[in-house]
Chain A
Amino acid sequence: MSQPFLQWVDGKGIPDICYIIYFLLDGPRWIQRHRHTFEEQNGIGDALSFGTLHSCIQVDASSAGARRVAFKPDCRRLSDSTGLLSRPIDRTSLHETALTVWPPPFQRSSKRRGCVAMDTESTYSGYSYYSGRSRGSHRHGERSRDRHKSRSKDSRSEKSVTINTPPAEPLLGDSSVRGEQVQDDNWGETTTAITGTSEHSLSQEDIVRITKDLEDSVGLNCRRYLTRILAVILGVLVLLTPLAFLVLPHLLWPDKLQKCGTACEGLYISIAFKLLILLLAVWGLFFRPPRASLPRVFAFRALLSVLVLLFVISYWLFYAVRILEAQDADYQGIVQYAVSLVDALLFIHYLAVVLLELRQLQPCFSVCVTRSTDGETRHYNLGQLSIQQAALAIIEHYYSDFPVHNPALLSASKSRAAKHLAGLKVYNVDGPGPGNNPAAGLAHSQSRAMIAAAARRRDTSHNELYYEEAEHERRVRKRKARLVVAVEEAFTHIKRMQEEEQKKSPGDVMDPREAAQAIFPSMARALQKYLRTTKQQHCHSMESIQQHLAFCITNNMTPKAFLESYLTPGPTLQYSRDRWLARQWTLISEASVTSGLRDGTVFLLKCVDFSLVIAAKKIPFVQMSEEYIDPKSHKFVLRLQSETSV
């Protein structure tokens, strides 16, 4: 299936309509695949040619045990901060998401290849650190596309990663690739040998900085501009068609045309106003600033544009055949034809409003959104949306509802978990038997033994947890009391100056910023200690605290109001952008992301540090019946004593 696509791009062959639709629905992957295939087949390409597209390497562990390296360009790297990437994955590959492995294979592969490619290798592998984290899904998307196209260029099994020779090393060619494919049992030994011997190794901060720069720059965002351009072309076509219908007879056969009087003029006026209304309506509905870039094309919009296109084409066909060729003299008929076109376009616009806006307003599903790291849960009501739209709505809710993600709060449970595991070690006394002890059975019995031993051991970690938490609570309350007192005292030192005083003593007058700076030192220590105890110190910088203080002073807020934003962690939007830890989102879903939400749909929104697990439930159908009570039937008697019937 890839072959015809290449032919189309090369200029040979006719575009196949199915491929166009496929392209629309899954465009970026086609671009990636095409570029990759094209350049590989033609033997061109080198690391630098992909540099502008910011290629990334996936280094993943497959369940078959072989370590493979995949390489693909990615133009979506340059999308803006709320770019969503999707990958449809099947059940077998769900576990592999967690197995992205970085440094060990990186070092091993660099040892494998010759010294010639050492520096370029390490550059790629440096990228792999970051890309593996956030783009762990590309591989899966590739695989599912491969299934459709049944391409056997890459030798791979169902569960493993695609192998692509990086075009940066045409010299090494086959030998290294073949070497890669052989399973290496000694990889553990080779990993320790090489660390940082290459000249171009990148550190983690460099990678993050580069990514940030690329994110902030307005790079190529092929999909978005393409959609915009198509929409504008369609709009211009739609607008000019009725005018063309009216003008063409005058140009082509002006002498044959019948004069039509006031009726036509009335129709001209109606066309003009309807076109104006259509123009405003289209501008209002379609030309709004986009909130996000979604992974797949919005199905309803595509459907509507196809409908409009077909509609206009059929009108043109009829016009061309019946009117232009026959050179119809009845001008009023032509004008009425144009009016009918504009009316039908207005109705299609009404259809667009209903499908795109109104249909999803009525709440139909209740979704439960849980953050995977600390369990924060919220429930929202959504209408009939596609999965990607629902994900977008949930992300927007996330920014304003969920308290900011604080990785410092999770370290305690991790250390406890480590302590649980560290207590027991399992030794296999018998040694590996000759084939009668398969690895799976051994591991199974080992884990059972560990569980049994852990259950028997008298564990006092719950005791420690209890006392630790009580101690922490006490400490936090003590610090909070000190903080409140310090802030209240600081606020008493300044006073808003009245108008008449301003005229009397113009000396020593401060604006809010200076006033904030003046009283900040007296509360700084207490505030810092409190933030350290509640592990929030990385969320607030001194500059931001002073700004907030100036803001509170300006608006006559009390010390309690000033402290409120530090006592409880607020929603993510409240903090500055670099503290969000949640900017690039990946949508992970088993169903196709353009399909609608259904009862029991589960999908994930993955961020670098955490993920949101979303489960949808249908709001039940409400069966309501009525009962009539006659107002006259409300009669009462006095109850003299309590009566019991026996």
Chain B
Amino acid sequence: MSFVPGQPVTAVVERIEIQKLSQGPNLVLGFCIGGGIDQDPGQNPFSDDKADKGIYVTRVSPGGPADVAGLKIGDKIMQVNGWDMTVVTHDQARKKLTKKNEHVVRLLVTRKTLEEAVKQSMSRPGPS
């Protein structure tokens, strides 16, 4: 998941669709994010490359909409509803996720297990 400056970022992503749950006046998704270009990337426990300033999922509340949709802790969010999440500040990321007039968020997330799974399936000899 590391990126080489100057080269486009490539990653294996999973598409996750979360329905927002309305709790009183708010719409909640049921997870917490951390990171951003204005944060300290060295403190991120979920990233491999400690220079990675992306948005990561730090907590998923059990039974919440994110958990139901399959979001896992430690996921890096690449896109939200088409908006890029790799080079955003923490607050911009929060705003993109908590738009009041959207009831569904479609995330593109990536995690290490995805890449390994793809590598494994590629290295395994295909059924033929």
- Residues on A facing B (Cβ under 8 Å): 640-646
- Residues on B facing A (Cβ under 8 Å): 28-29, 31-35, 39-40, 43-45, 58-59, 90, 94, 97-98
Contact residues in A for B35 (Cβ distance below 8 Å) = 641
Cα–Cα, bound, A194→B44 (Å): 102
Contact in complex: A644, B59 (CB < 8 Å): no
Supply 20 further A-B pairs (C-beta < 8 A) apart from A643-B33, A643-B59: A640-B34, A640-B43, A640-B45, A641-B34, A641-B39, A641-B40, A642-B34, A642-B90, A643-B34, A644-B33, A644-B34, A644-B90, A645-B28, A645-B31, A645-B32, A646-B28, A646-B29, A646-B33, A646-B94, A646-B97
Contact in complex: A646, B31 (CB < 8 Å): yes
Residue of A641, A644, A645 near B43 (CB, 8 A) is A641
Chain A nearest CB: distance from B46 CB in Å?
10
Chain A nearest CB: distance from B98 CB in Å?
5
Which residue on chain A has the smallest CB distance to residue B46?
A: A640
Cα–Cα, bound, A642→B40 (Å): 9
Chain B nearest CB: distance from A305 CB in Å?
71
Cα–Cα, bound, A114→B74 (Å): 114
Chain B nearest CB: distance from A634 CB in Å?
23
Cα–Cα, bound, A646→B30 (Å): 6
26 contacts between A and B (CB under 8 A): A640-B34, A640-B43, A640-B44, A640-B45, A641-B34, A641-B35, A641-B40, A641-B43, A641-B44, A641-B58, A642-B39, A642-B90, A643-B32, A643-B34, A643-B58, A643-B59, A644-B32, A644-B33, A644-B90, A644-B94, A645-B28, A645-B59, A646-B28, A646-B94, A646-B97, A646-B98
Contact residues in A for B44 (Cβ distance below 8 Å) = 640-641
Cα–Cα, bound, A642→B38 (Å): 10
Contact residues in B for A645 (Cβ distance below 8 Å) = 28, 31-32, 59
Cα–Cα, bound, A645→B30 (Å): 7
Contact residues in B for A643 (Cβ distance below 8 Å) = 32-34, 58-59
Q: Is the interface of B mostly helix, strand, loop or mixed?
A: mixed
Which residue on chain B has the smallest CB distance to residue A644?
A: B94
Cα–Cα, bound, A643→B45 (Å): 13
Cα–Cα, bound, A132→B19 (Å): 88
Cα–Cα, bound, A644→B98 (Å): 11
Contact residues in A for B58 (Cβ distance below 8 Å) = 641, 643
Cα–Cα, bound, A644→B90 (Å): 8
Chain A nearest CB: distance from B101 CB in Å?
15
Contact residues in B for A646 (Cβ distance below 8 Å) = 28-29, 31-33, 94, 97-98
Cα–Cα, bound, A646→B29 (Å): 6
Chain B nearest CB: distance from A416 CB in Å?
57
Cα–Cα, bound, A640→B59 (Å): 13
Cα–Cα, bound, A644→B44 (Å): 14
Contact residues in A for B90 (Cβ distance below 8 Å) = 642, 644
Contact residues in B for A644 (Cβ distance below 8 Å) = 32-34, 90, 94
Give the one of B29, B34, B40 with max A CB within 10 A. B34
Which residue on chain A has the smallest CB distance to residue B80?
A: A646
Give the one of A643, A644, A646 with max B CB within 10 A. A646
8 shortest interchain CB distances as A-B pairs: A640-B43, A645-B32, A641-B34, A646-B97, A643-B34, A643-B32, A641-B43, A646-B29
Contact residues in A for B29 (Cβ distance below 8 Å) = 646
Contact residues in A for B59 (Cβ distance below 8 Å) = 643, 645
Contact residues in A for B97 (Cβ distance below 8 Å) = 646
Chain B nearest CB: distance from A643 CB in Å?
5
Cα–Cα, bound, A646→B66 (Å): 10
Contact residues in A for B98 (Cβ distance below 8 Å) = 646
Which residue on chain A has the smallest CB distance to residue B20?
A: A646
Cα–Cα, bound, A645→B21 (Å): 14
Cα–Cα, bound, A320→B124 (Å): 127
Cα–Cα, bound, A190→B44 (Å): 101
Cα–Cα, bound, A638→B32 (Å): 16
Contact residues in A for B32 (Cβ distance below 8 Å) = 643-646
Chain A nearest CB: distance from B121 CB in Å?
32
Contact residues in A for B34 (Cβ distance below 8 Å) = 640-644
Chain B nearest CB: distance from A205 CB in Å?
80
Cα–Cα, bound, A644→B32 (Å): 5
Chain B nearest CB: distance from A646 CB in Å?
4
Contact residues in A for B33 (Cβ distance below 8 Å) = 643-644, 646
Contact residues in B for A640 (Cβ distance below 8 Å) = 34, 43-45
Cα–Cα, bound, A643→B36 (Å): 10
Which residue on chain A has the smallest CB distance to residue B29?
A: A646
Which residue on chain B has the smallest CB distance to residue A638?
A: B43
Cα–Cα, bound, A644→B29 (Å): 12
Chain A nearest CB: distance from B8 CB in Å?
26
Chain A nearest CB: distance from B38 CB in Å?
9
Contact residues in A for B40 (Cβ distance below 8 Å) = 641
Chain B nearest CB: distance from A59 CB in Å?
75
Which residue on chain B has the smallest CB distance to residue A639?
A: B43
Cα–Cα, bound, A101→B28 (Å): 80
Chain A nearest CB: distance from B40 CB in Å?
6
Which residue on chain B has the smallest CB distance to residue A640?
A: B43
Give the one of B28, B29, B58, B97 with max A CB within 10 A. B58
Cα–Cα, bound, A645→B33 (Å): 6
Cα–Cα, bound, A644→B33 (Å): 6
Cα–Cα, bound, A549→B65 (Å): 84
Contact residues in A for B28 (Cβ distance below 8 Å) = 645-646
Cα–Cα, bound, A642→B34 (Å): 6
Chain B nearest CB: distance from A21 CB in Å?
70
Which residue on chain B has the smallest CB distance to residue A645?
A: B32
Cα–Cα, bound, A502→B58 (Å): 85
Cα–Cα, bound, A644→B31 (Å): 9
Cα–Cα, bound, A640→B58 (Å): 10
Chain B nearest CB: distance from A637 CB in Å?
12
Contact residues in A for B39 (Cβ distance below 8 Å) = 641-642
Cα–Cα, bound, A643→B59 (Å): 9
Chain B nearest CB: distance from A459 CB in Å?
54
